[in-house]
Amino acid sequence: MIPLANPVPYIAVIGLVLVGLFAVVFKRNLIKIVIGITIIESGVNLFLITLGYRENSIAPIYTSSPGGLMSLPVPQALTLTSIVIGVAVLALMISFIVHIYRHYNTLDASKIRGDEE
Amino acid sequence: MLDQIISTFETGSGFWNPLVWLTALVIAFLIIYILRGFGKREYKKGTDQTQAFLSGNPEYEKDKMHVKANNVYWGFTESLKSVYNFFDKMHTGNVSDYVLWFVIIMGILFLIFGVI
Amino acid sequence: MNDILSILVNHSPALIVAVPLFGAFLTPLVGMINDKLRNVFVIFITLLTGFFAVILVNEVFTNGIKTYCFGAENPSVNPVVRIFFEVDGMSAFMALIAVILPIVAVIYSWGFAKEETGQSKYYTLILLMTAGILGMVLTGDMFNFFVFLEITSISSAALVAFWTNKKNSVQAAFKYIVISSIGALMVLFAIAIFYGQYNALNMAVIANSIGFGFLDKIALVVLIAALTMKAAIAPMHMWLPDAYSGAPSPVTVVIVGTTLASLYGVFRVVFTIYGKQFLTILRSFGDFAVTPSLIIGVFIVVLAVLTMIIGVFMALKSNNFKRMIGYAAVAEIGYMILAVGSAISTYFIPTGTTTVTMAEHGKMALTGGIFHMINDALDIGLLFLVAGAVYYATKETSLNKLGGLSRKMKYTTVFFLIGLFAVSGLPPMNGFASKLIIYQSTYQVNPVLAIVAILCSIMLLAVFVKVFHSAFLGPEISSIKNVKEVPRSMLIAMGILAALIIFFGLFPEFVITNIVEPAKNALLNSSEYISAILGGV
Amino acid sequence: MSGMSKIVKTIASLAFPFVMIYGLYIIAHGHLTPGGGFQGGAIVASGAAMILVAYGSVWTMGKVKEKHLSTLESTGAIVFIGTAILGLLFAGVFFNNFLFDSNLIFNIVPTGGSTVGILNSAGTLPIMNFAVGLKVVAGLFAIVLVMAYATTKMGGNEK
């Protein structure tokens, strides 16, 4: 069961995801939409990290470790993977935006439409 | 192996057998061939016999005779204009709206599972 | 010889993903030597993947579920933390779809992409996408699923924008990557919930210990919404016509596989992971019990009807060849979802409250739905290849500007006719068999569903008759004079798909008993899937 | 993007080796301390990006070809998957750590005392870290380079 001793990080997670979705849905600038996606990603990453954290724990490194409770390493590995993927997606989206700007001369999402024919 | 391949497929109220179907196909082609044989062969090329008859009107250019895709189902789209207006409004082509639909569907599902 | 074969069979789940990955990164290096050598190499890699898929599928269908553990000689020690590939009938079925499409696409690309620059990257991305799809359908690990989902999305979005000088392609790619990344992030969110609750990422372990509490409901909602969006179910389908019409045709064929793999994700989540909780009675009104299966089933059926109607209506109006096929693909997805939704809502009902016949109809519907998945991949794939051939010959996709192509492109016209028959469910093509099952079973569930399905099928026929009339019939158009038949490699690729379509249509019983039935049984038997991992503990 | 002032160029050139060393250290110690292929690769690539910003994309494009970067990237990926396949060939399981406890390199099994935290351990992990590092350096730098170069081609549209 998810430990709900300290709910602040979870509230932050929900807040970040909602802010990101808000930005994606209501902002018209393509760059702001991309920023919204990045915010959602940060929220999800924070969620993963928070799941692995235990109260008063140390980083999970065995080399010259002082001993005691360690936080879970698996969510940190997952977060890292997710960050790596995020970088790739971000780069791809930004380069699409460069091309879109070249073709349309605008970044307004409502004006970026495909050919009907 | 072979009898497995040509085994009959039963759906409950109907069935499908490749052999039966192939026989039907062959018969259908035979009928078509026979019907084709009734056609007249002794027409003269290059004369008025091969011209299209448009109630005496002159024939247009070939390009203009072709009905464009835009006009093929004109009647259908015209009579269902209200439906198409709605669909057109739905398909804005704006990426924000695509995500908005996703949020709406998620919200509906949350509502259903929350209420019940 | 037998030894080598058995070793290959043992390792096929890993090799089937490793071979395309390895080939993908070797392609640019081979491409530096010679273009022709590179093309041969890529075709060889896809065929090798196909070979591994065939021996894996054969193994799974004869000996049951196959698991493969990465990086451990002795997987029975602590299986919860290990990364597993778990291949059951459904995964094997999807793997078959996922290897057929790239083979066809790569052969087709030989002729189609001859003039393009950056071909090495193009083939690299196609192979990466293949590896991603295969990983998605074979993995038994939730996080792995997410990673492969992202690999697939990134490579396919990059391929949609392959023609960067066309604004249509670039904007479609942007929309596609936005949708994909949001969907994938939501999937990751649900995975995090699972991890927090059950301390596991393995699907079987999660499925074994799953409950139906507050957090499980959230995870279910998020997963279903995100994966149905990736599978293009109305009203979240709008990215699909954009992306399908923006991409080069051979790429679209592989992207069809991506969409189906997302649909597979929905099935996996609903049937396997939440399968144990299907019969939890959430609330009952007298005799009538509301279970999760009923809610999900009815919800999916409603969306399915919407998907079919919107798909065919928009396809009828559209005047762009590729966009029209994209909308038709949406409608086809509606058929699968309709069948599966009615299966979920009728098959899983608490004992004693229903008759057995209803469950039988549900089973039948599921058979039809799964069979329709492979049919859809073949039909839509063939139609897109035809659209690509028309584009290759005329540099035009607008139906208003086409005409009279059948005079110059005989074979393409024949292939288009085969695709037309298949997609609108006319005998003797494959669409007929699966649609017949879907009509019959959904008629037993609710007659209205079957009527809507048949009407939509008729409209699909109307849609493609319009294409046939305006693009292939009529006099030659003066603006597109120098039309020639497309190169042989493109014809071969279309021929492969057409031959498969006719084979599946003539011998449906053979296909159903050998491929579809195991997939259906695998979906309905979630306990087998769980015990394959946990049984040895 | 053209180059910046002489001060910026000099400072960037001075800082560049240190950034490189730090990034390579992170990659090499990936199996012992936090970090690894991606993090170290990102550091190295950001060092290269610093040079790119200081000297301008046209100058950098003359020095580094994007084709070479993609070759490097492919090499990294091939080494990674190749190591995994070697695991299959030598030890019978895909991704198997076949170097661990063998008589080749990276073979020391830490048992406490002086062997803890030794670089020559962890089997195939360091090799995979290097492969990932190579891929990330080449990939990230190629992204930055191409994007920076693309803005120069846009001409008068900007500013």
Does residue B70 belong to the interface with chain A, where contact is any CB pair within 8 Å?
no
Q: Say whether the ipTM exceeds 0.85.
A: yes
Measured torsion, CA atoms of residues C520, C521, C526, C528, in degrees rounded to the nearest 10: -150
Contact across the interface for C14 and D70, Cβ inside 8 Å: no
pLDDT of residue D29: 84
Residue D116 resides in a domain = yes
Take residue C112 and report the two structure tokens written for it: 């189609």
Residue C68 lies in a domain: no
Distance CA A96, CA A114 (A): 14
Sequence-separated (6 or more) residues with CB below 8 Å from residue D73: C25, D134, D135, D138, D139, D142
- Residue C235 in this model has a pLDDT that exceeds 90: no
Q: How many domains does chain C have?
A: 1
Nearest CA in chain D to A88: D140
**CA C378/CA C438 separation, integer angstroms:** 18
Q: Which of B48-52, B80-84, C329-333, C338-342 has the lowest mean pLDDT?
A: B48-52
C20: pLDDT strictly greater than 70 = yes
Ramachandran region, residue D101 (left: φ > 0; alpha: ψ -120 to 50; beta: rest)? left
Q: Does residue B7 belong to the interface with chain C, where contact is any CB pair within 8 Å?
A: yes
Cβ separation of B94 and A27 shorter than 8 Å?
no
H/E element holding C68? strand C66-69
Residues of C in contact with B102 (CB under 8 A): 179, 182-183, 225-226, 229, 236
Q: Give yes or no for a contact between C107 and C492, defined as CB atoms under 8 angstroms apart.
A: yes
C340, pLDDT greater than 50: yes
Q: Assess if residue D68 is contained within a domain.
A: yes
Residue C107: its pLDDT value, please?
92
Chain B residues whose CB is inside 8 A of the C462 CB are: 73
pLDDT reading at C537 higher than 50: no
The answer to the question of residue C427 being in a domain is yes
CA distance C56 to C13: 7
B44 touching C (Cβ < 8 Å): no
Decide: A89 and C179 in contact? Cβ < 8 Å. no
Tell me which residue in A61, A84, A98 faces D34 most closely, judged by beta carbons: A61
> D91 to chain C: which residues are within 8 Å by CB?
73
**Is C149 within the bounds of a domain?**
no
In which band, very low, low, confident or very high, does the pLDDT at C1 lie, cut at 50, 70 and 90? low
Instruction: Report the residue of C185, C502, C509, C510 to disrupt the B interface, i.e. the one with the largest count of B CBs within 10 Å.
Output: C509
pLDDT per residue over D24-43, tens digit each?
Answer: 888 888 877 777 888 888 89
CA D1/CA C130 separation, integer angstroms: 37
**pLDDT (tens digit, 9 = 90+) per residue, C212-230?**
888 888 899 999 999 999 9
C469 within 8 A of B65, measured Cβ to Cβ: no
Contact B25 C428 (CB under 8 A): yes
pLDDT digits (tens, 9 = 90+) for D73-85: 888 888 888 888 8
The tokens for B30 are 């035979």
- Residue C230 CB neighbour total at 10 angstroms: 28
* Domain of residue D121, residue span: 6-154
pLDDT in tens, C290-328: 888 888 888 999 999 999 999 999 888 888 888 899 999
The structural domains of chain A, with segments of one domain joined by +, span 29-59+71-109
Shortest distance, CA C210 to any CA of chain A (angstroms): 11
Identify the CA nearest to B6 among candidates B20, B14, B17, B21. Answer: B17
Q: Tens digits of per-residue pLDDT, C495-533?
A: 999 999 988 888 888 888 888 888 888 888 888 888 877
Per-residue pLDDT, C351: 59
Chain B residues in contact with C310 by the CB 8 A cut-off are: 87, 90
pTM for the predicted model, two decimal places:
0.91
Q: Which residues of B touch A106 (CB under 8 A)?
A: none
C122 burial (CB, 10 Å; 0-12 / 13-18 / 19+) is: buried
Residue C354 has pLDDT above 60, yes or no: no
- Whether residue A71 is predicted with pLDDT greater than 70 in this model: the reply is yes
Cα(C249)–Cα(C387) distance, rounded to whole angstroms?
7
Q: Where are the strands (E) in C36-130, listed by range? A: 66-69, 84-87
Give the closest-approach CA distance of B40 to chain C in angstroms. Answer: 23
Question: Which chain A residues have a beta carbon less than 8 Å from that of C197?
Answer: 1-2
End-to-end CA distance of chain D: 12
How confident is the prediction for chain D on average, in pLDDT? Answer: 80
CB C8 within 8 A of CB C52: yes
Closest residue in chain B to residue A25, using alpha carbons only? B96
Using a CB-CB distance cutoff of 8 angstroms, which residues of chain D are in contact with residue A95?
Answer: 143, 146-147, 150
Q: Which domain holds residue C318?
A: 278-529
Distance in Å, alpha carbon of D129 to nearest chain C alpha carbon: 16
Q: Give residues 19 to 38 of B whose Cβ lies within 8 Å of C.
A: 21-22, 25
Answer whether C505's CB lies under 8 Å from C431's CB: yes
Q: Can you read off the two tokens belonging to residue C191?
A: 């995975």
Residue A61 has pLDDT above 80, yes or no: no
In which element (H, E) is residue C336 found?
helix C321-347
Q: Report the pLDDT averaged over residues C233-258.
A: 90
Report the candidate in C251, C265, C244, C264 with the shortest Cα–Cα distance to residue C102. Answer: C251
User: Cβ contacts of residue C299 below 8 Å, gap of 6+?
Assistant: B109, B112, C341
Q: Give the three-class secondary structure for C476.
A: coil
D156 falls in which pLDDT band (50, 70, 90)? very low
Residue A66 sits at the chain D interface (C-beta within 8 Å): no
Mean of pLDDT over chain A: 84
Residue D41 contacts residue D133 (beta carbons within 8 Å): yes
Give me A88's structure tokens: 């790739």
Residue C449's H or E segment, with its range, is helix C447-467
Establish if B69 touches chain A: CB-CB under 8 angstroms. no
Query: Which residue in the set D78, D94, D95 is minimally distant from C26, CB to CB?
Result: D78
B5-24 residues touching A, CB cutoff 8 A:
none
Q: For C373-406, give the DSSP string.
A: HHHHHHHHHHHHHHHHHHHHHHS--BGGG---GG
- Dihedral-angle region of residue D106 (phi above 0 means left; psi in -120 to 50 means alpha; beta otherwise): left
Is the residue at C322 inside a domain? yes
CA distance C431 to C441: 16
Q: At what angle do helices C89-112 and C119-138 cross, to 10 degrees?
A: 170
Examine residue C164 and state whether it is found in any structural domain, yes or no.
no
Q: Among all residues of chain B, which has the CA nearest to that of C360?
A: B12
DSSP string, A4-55: -SS-HHHHHHHHHHHHHHHHHHH--BHHHHHHHHHHHHHHHHHHHHHHH--T
Say how far apart CA D150 and CA C403 lie, in whole Å. Answer: 40
Q: What is the pLDDT of residue A1?
A: 47
Nearest beta carbon to residue A98 from set D38, D116, D147: D147
Measured between CB atoms, does A31 come within 8 Å of chain D?
no
Can you give the C-alpha Rg of chain A in angstroms? Answer: 19
Q: Confidence band (pLDDT; 50, 70, 90) for C473?
A: confident
Distance CA C322, CA A21 (A): 31
Predicted confidence (pLDDT) at residue D158 exceeds the cutoff of 50: no
Residue C442 carries which side chain, given as an amino acid letter?
A: T
> To probe the interface with D, which of A81, A94, A98, A99 has the most D CB atoms within 10 Å?
A98
Among chain D residues, the shortest Cα distance to A63 is held by D117
* Size of the A and C interface in Cβ pairs below 8 Å: 104
Identify whether D38 is part of a domain: yes
- CB count within 10 Å of CB D113 equals 6
C41: in domain = no
| CA dihedral sign, ordered B14, B18, B21, B23 | negative
Angle in degrees, 0-180, between the axes of helices C35-63 and C119-138, rounded to the nearest 10: 10
Residues of A in contact with C177 (CB under 8 A): 89, 92-93, 96
Beta strand extents in C187-306 (DSSP E only): 283-285, 288-290
For chain A, say whether C78 makes contact (Cβ under 8 Å). Answer: no
Q: How far apart are CA C509 and CA C486, in angstroms?
A: 35
